Amino acid sequence: MISPSRKRRDVRVRTQLRDDFAQDPEFDPRDTFVMQLTDDLPDRCARHGKPTKLHVTKDYEFASKLFGWREDFHWVQRTFSYEIANILHAFYLTVTFRRKEISTPSTILEGEWPVCPKCLRLKTVRQCVGHAIVLAGLGLIMIILAGIQMSAFDHLPAPLIAGLFPGWFPFGLLLAILIYRHSGNLVPFRPITEYTEVTIKAHPRFADVVESRGTTTEIHEW
């Protein structure tokens, strides 16, 4: 049983190809292209359902994927979890000496999105986690350098070495970069399947407001 606070609705909003792509006779969806939100979204946070007057301009990135043996592409939102899975997949292909699949460039979705103070706090928390990871590594470097300078170490302790490499570099830095990159991803989307609309995984209160304006919504619990 999913509590009401965990329910989400799939809200479809209208989009279009940006003019320079729509008017390009050689347009190929397997290349990079840009979509733009055309609907005016309500003053209601899509993620938390709270009333808000703040609409933030934000470009969301999607990665194109070919599903099965069909010749149609879906564009999947590049989230933190997606990036981690992609890195692990690339690592697996490398260690097993398999050819890396060629992925097409990202697709961009431009628009103004309603966010609330809770969203901004979430973004700040994510950025603080990234700061903490970076500072932890710098602090570790300073400890090692200070110990060497004062001849406090006959030899560098293995935990310090492992903490610095490969703990902080490259894994810690990579994690911090991903956190920074996705700290502002506050609106979750379903995979894009066409150019004329995208589906937001929205809070029920946001969906209710959009539905009252005549936009179709579909209930989806997660």
Total domain count, the chain: 2
Distance from the Cα of residue 141 to its chain's centroid: 30
One domain, residues 2 and 42 = yes
One domain, residues 152 and 110 = no
One domain, residues 30 and 122 = no
**Helix, coil or strand: residue 217:** strand
One domain, residues 55 and 161 = no
pLDDT for res 185: 93
pLDDT for res 1: 41
One domain, residues 14 and 76 = yes
| CA 131 – CA 123 distance, rounded (Å) | 12
Tell me the mean pLDDT per 10 residues along the chain, length 222: 65 95 89 93 96 96 67 81 86 77 75 97 97 96 86 76 90 94 94 93 94 64 52
What residue numbers bound the domain in which 101 lies?
Answer: 1-115+186-222
One domain, residues 71 and 173 = no
One domain, residues 190 and 173 = no
One domain, residues 136 and 69 = no
pLDDT for res 10: 94
Q: What kind and span of H or E run contains 134?
A: helix 117-149
One domain, residues 194 and 170 = no
- 0.85 exceeded by pTM: no
One domain, residues 98 and 8 = yes
CB atoms within 10 A of CB 107: 23
One domain, residues 27 and 93 = yes
One domain, residues 154 and 194 = no
pLDDT for res 179: 95
The dihedral over CA atoms of 69, 71, 74, 75, expressed in degrees to the nearest 10, equals 120
